A and B are shown apart, each in its own frame.
Chain A
Amino acid sequence: NAGVTQTPKFRVLKTGQSMTLLCAQDMNHEYMYWYRQDPGMGLRLIHYSVGEGTTAKGEVPDGYNVSRLKKQNFLLGLESAAPSQTSVYFCASSGGRRTGELFFGEGSRLTVL
């Protein structure tokens, strides 16, 4: 029962470096999401995808890019990391637009120095 798997779980970057977070789900879900979680701010949606080959901007998309080349995978990229991107990143998936339940990965903690 893997569900939603995120890699890596921890990463430390220097300002200006690039990296990619990988999210994989084995539930055949159409919808996938990337959130960031910062203390005292709850979750904020970065980007989401409603199906293979599609992506859309969420609330805080600047500085991030995403790709959904395969249905089961959703990649989040940082081209030039900044200290403001230090956060915990969560991937989630859902079976539809209105299923009312998101299934989350365990999170990826990113520190940008």
Chain B
Amino acid sequence: AQSVTQPDIHITVSEGASLELRCNYSYGATPYLFWYVQSPGQGLQLLLKYFSGDTLVQGIKGFEAEFKRSQSSFNLRKPSVHWSDAAEYFCAVGDGSNYQLIWGAGTKLIIKP
């Protein structure tokens, strides 16, 4: 079955520390991979996407993600988090069709001052 797993429901990180959010997927075809962020009370916003090419992709707000086919992973990273990064982060996988996306359950990021 096709699925996306975000193993961490919550993650707490000190401001200024590095961050890695995990995303693992099970998908039968070549995956198109996405990370979205949802700030409190807001809709989701695209952080970055991977379709093909360089497996390290850069996104907005200083985020990056690395596609590792052998591990079926697409982990999100940031070298130094800011208090404004506190939000919920969603990983999604699809075949490129916007209405075929499979979403992870989300990881809530908490920033300690």
Taking beta carbons and an 8 Å cutoff, which residues of A are in contact with B?
4, 31, 33, 40-45, 48, 56, 58, 90, 92, 94, 96-107
A100 engages B105 (CB within 8 Å): no
A-B contact count (CB 8 A): 64
Q: Can you list 17 residue pairs at the A/B interface with Cβ under 8 Å?
A: A42-B106, A43-B101, A43-B103, A45-B101, A58-B99, A96-B98, A98-B98, A100-B32, A100-B34, A100-B46, A102-B36, A102-B46, A102-B98, A102-B101, A105-B43, A106-B42, A107-B42
Number of B positions contacting A (CB below 8 A): 24
A100 to chain B, nearest CB (A): 5
B43 engages A90 (CB within 8 Å): yes
B17 on the A face (CB < 8 A): no
Taking beta carbons and an 8 Å cutoff, which residues of B are in contact with A?
4, 9, 32, 34, 36, 41-46, 49, 51, 90, 92, 96-99, 101, 103-106
B103 engages A101 (CB within 8 Å): no
A42 engages B105 (CB within 8 Å): yes
Alpha-carbon gap, A94 to B44, bound state (A): 13
A42 engages B43 (CB within 8 Å): no
Instruction: Chain B residues near A40: list those with CB within 8 A.
Output: 9, 105
B98 engages A33 (CB within 8 Å): yes
Alpha-carbon gap, A99 to B32, bound state (A): 11
Alpha-carbon gap, A5 to B56, bound state (A): 33
A48 engages B44 (CB within 8 Å): no
B43 engages A106 (CB within 8 Å): yes
